[in-house]
Structure 1
Amino acid sequence: MSASKRGVTPEQLQQAAKDLNLTVAAIAEGSGLSKAYISEFRNGKRNFKPSEQALLRSYLEAEYAEQGEDFPEEQEASDQELLNGLGGMVKRITRPAILLSEDVPAAQVEKLTDLIEANRLKVGDILNTEFAKGGFFGGEFSETTENAIREIFALLALNYVAILMLQGRNIARKLPEGAQPKTMGDWLSGYLAASPLADLLPEADPADAEAEAA
């Protein structure tokens, strides 16, 4: 694996900014990524796709090379070293990540992760909208507020299903056209058929279809 494919951690980006005296704007311009994306990644609020990681890594490597230096690889202390240094009062915590199934095609992974990120940004925008009168403990929601609440939970639910799909744990499937739901799973599948996940749902098991026909 080449160096550029190893990516960059938020900590490495912070260190590079100090070492090379780089602003967020300069990093964004040099890597071709947006300033907002760079800031969120640097603060641990965003994960970059492999293609974005490669752009950022290549840019930083080139900047270090101009200074006659190598990109500083992150060196992790062993668990025993951490325990010794902190008197045994330590518990390693890694950054949150999504475990990917090897059975999920790369193209589908790309589409699912793009969808998850787009939904996250939509939720953020909705959370910044004004809450119009009422609340859970008094009064009634305005129609705008009620619709916003519904949309938030729908987007969060879509992301949950997308994460399960990335793990190879599908809880919905494509149903035959005109099929009537017989279980809650069928209802969920029908609901998702009208969502951005529609084309990514797995095909129904032929054995199930034969059983239903019988």
Structure 2
Amino acid sequence: MATGQKRGVTPEQLRDLCKELNLTVAAVADGASLSKAYISEFRQGSRNLSAQQQTQLRNYLEEQCEAAGIDFPENQDGEGAEEQRLAQGVGLIIQRINRPAIMLAEGIPKATVDQLTALMDANRAKVVELLSTDFEPGGMFGGEFSQATDDAIRQVFALLALNYLAILYLQGHARIFVKPIPEDQEPKTIGEWFSRSLGESPLAGPVPELLPAKAPAMADGEGA
């Protein structure tokens, strides 16, 4: 049996071992005390297993490897391997959102995840649409390209930036760009100005922290 710290199992390892050991999904599910649906979806890369489920699956597969006289395949260079190592190392929850996977920080509400992924999908579709528009050189002032092309290029970068910020938020890095200040206060840093600008963007819906903080109410007699 393999020694050292167990790293769980990747879908690639499961597929390889099922082929090498002639294991069916039903046999693996029964041996690991997991449902056939879980094993089938994990094998296909469409489901992630909890730490406990990973342990059950790993233990069963190691027992089968030992019985067959082979070593457990420790090479985790396939797709999803780095996610597995990071998840077990820092305790994050991995949830696949289409592809590639986004590592979600703990405590992100499902409603927020759904809103942000819907926003990213819409932004991605708009970027694809913009990238297929005609490139118009020149323009009335003889620039490198026309005003319409300039506007389209700026919009592409803005949409890509919003998607990147959405991913940062889902990964728990909101503090990088969420710097709300009272609405009656002028920004003192670029970060504060940027955060206030985002408060007027589509990102402010699912990320209410971007909205400006309300100015504290003045007590009676103050300011007189």
Q: Name the TM-score, length of structure 1 as normaliser.
A: 0.52
Q: Distance in 1 between matches of 2:112 and 2:151?
A: 30
Contact between 2:180 and 2:212, CA under 8 Å: does it hold in 1?
Answer: no
The reply to whether residue 92 of structure 1 matches residue 78 of structure 2 is: yes
Q: Given the alignment, which residue of 185, 190, 197 partners 2:191?
A: 185
Deviation at 1:103, TM superposition (A): 1.7
Matched length:
136
Q: Which runs of 4+ in 1 moved over 3 A?
A: 1-9, 78-83, 203-206
How far did 1:178 drift? 3.1
**Using the alignment, how far apart are the partners of 2:127 and 2:117 within structure 1?**
15
What amino acid is aligned across from residue 117 of structure 1 in structure 2? D
1:128, CA displacement in angstroms?
A: 0.7
Give the structure 1 partner of residue 107 of structure 2. Answer: 103
State the match for 1:31 in structure 2. none
Match of 2:203 in 1: 197
Structure 2: any 5+ residue segments left out of the alignment?
A: 1-33, 48-60, 66-70, 81-98, 217-224
Give how far 1:2 is off. Answer: 7.0
1 CA distance for matches of 2:130 and 2:209?
30
Match of 1:172 among 164, 172, 178: 178
SS of the residue aligned with 2:117? helix
Contact 2:199/2:210, CA 8 A, preserved across alignment: no
Conserved? CA contact 2:181–2:187, under 8 Å = no
| SS of structure 1 residue aligned to 2:78 | coil
Letter in 1 for 2:131: L
1:143 and 2:147 correspond: yes
Counterpart contact for 2:195–2:210, Cα < 8 Å: no
Unaligned segments of structure 1, at least 5 residues: 14-47, 51-74, 84-89, 210-214
Change (3 A) 1:107 1:133: same
Please state if 1:153 is matched with 2:157: yes
Q: Which residue identity does 1:93 align to in structure 2?
A: E
Residue 100 of structure 1 contacts residue 167 of structure 1 at CA under 8 Å; is this kept in 2?
Answer: yes
Larger CA Rg, structure 1 vs 2: 2
**TM-score (structure 2 length as normaliser):** 0.50
Q: Provide the rounded CA distance (Å) in 2 between the counterparts of 1:81 and 1:155.
A: 42
Q: Give the letter aligned to residue 166 of structure 1.
A: L
Counterparts in 2 of 1:2 and 1:145: CA distance versus 1, 3 Å: farther
Cα 1:12/1:92, change in 2 over 3 Å? closer
Asked if structure 2 preserves the Cα contact closer than 8 Å seen for 1:173 and 1:201, the reply is no
Task: Call closer, same or farther: CA 1:149–1:204 in 2, change over 3 Å.
Answer: closer
Q: Is 2:143 the counterpart of 1:120?
A: no
RMSD across aligned positions (CA): 3.8
Q: 1:205 to 1:197 in 2, by over 3 A?
A: closer
CA contact under 8 A between 1:133 and 1:141: conserved in structure 2?
yes
Query: Superposed, which structure 2 residues align to 1:2-21 within 5 Å?
Result: none
